[in-house]
Amino acid sequence: MFEHNQWPAPAKLNLFLHITGRLANGYHSLQTNFQFLDYGDSLSFDINNSDNVTVSPAVEGVALEDNLIYRAAMMLKPYCRNNVGADIHLTKILPMGAGLGGGSSDAATTLVALNHLWNINLSAEKLAELGLSLGADVPIFVKGFAAFAQGVGEDLTPITPPQPWYLVIWPGVSVCTKEIFNLPQLPRNTPEITLAQLATATLKNDCQEVTKNRHPEVASALDWLIQYAPAKMTGTGSCVFGEFSSRADATVALEKLPKNMHGFVAKGVNISPLASTLSDRQRHQCQT
């Protein structure tokens, strides 16, 4: 018996990103606001009794055992009954190395969907704990609410920022997060702020200048976008985003985008499309 399900793996934005220190293990302590977009990848899951997990399409140069989707699925195997498997298909639209969290979101969707489809019923907290070993951004996608994040990004406090329309620009380059965080010139001493100070603090992205210096395409995208809206970079880049009051205004700007850049318009949302999908599936399950 096969069961087919399609689940969203949304993008995220870092509305700001402060690096407040470097830990002994090499990770960085940070503060950021995460917000989701109603735009992203999607994954379909065919549940079977083969006890095997497959992922398609294959990622060139990445062994199956190193694929974050496969690793997420295999993390759940010890918690489920024997002889249950899944054929997972990824529809990828988020660019890699873009600061949108695509790989982490794909892994989180796998954890959330298979936890439901395999009837494991682990808590969101447990799934987030498992996901943290896959990437610092995985917990925010598992939890599914906009958040003020601290620590390495796993200490999450729900927030309700405005939900504007964004024009997101991908300048056509991939940025290696590890490379940016290893740069000696990266600021690492931004003073910590409290949740109460968010509304009045001067918020920036500490990775923006060093990324612009290494990737002039990012600088060009910011210079272009700031003509139309307040703009900054998300994560370690390469995507930049501008905030608009309406979809129409964002679309007008998108239509003027230079041909060497790529962009899309999406709405900021404080409840993740993944969380909404899970809630819908759980409600449907209770009714049947």
Q: What's phi and psi for 107, nearest 5 deg?
A: -65, -40
137 is an active site residue: yes
Asked if 7 and 45 touch (Cβ cutoff 8 Å), the reply is yes
Catalytic one among 12, 143, 212, 232?
12
Which of 137, 143, 206, 232 is labelled catalytic?
137
CA distance 162 to 200: 15
- Residue 12 annotated as catalytic: yes
Catalytic positions are 12, 137
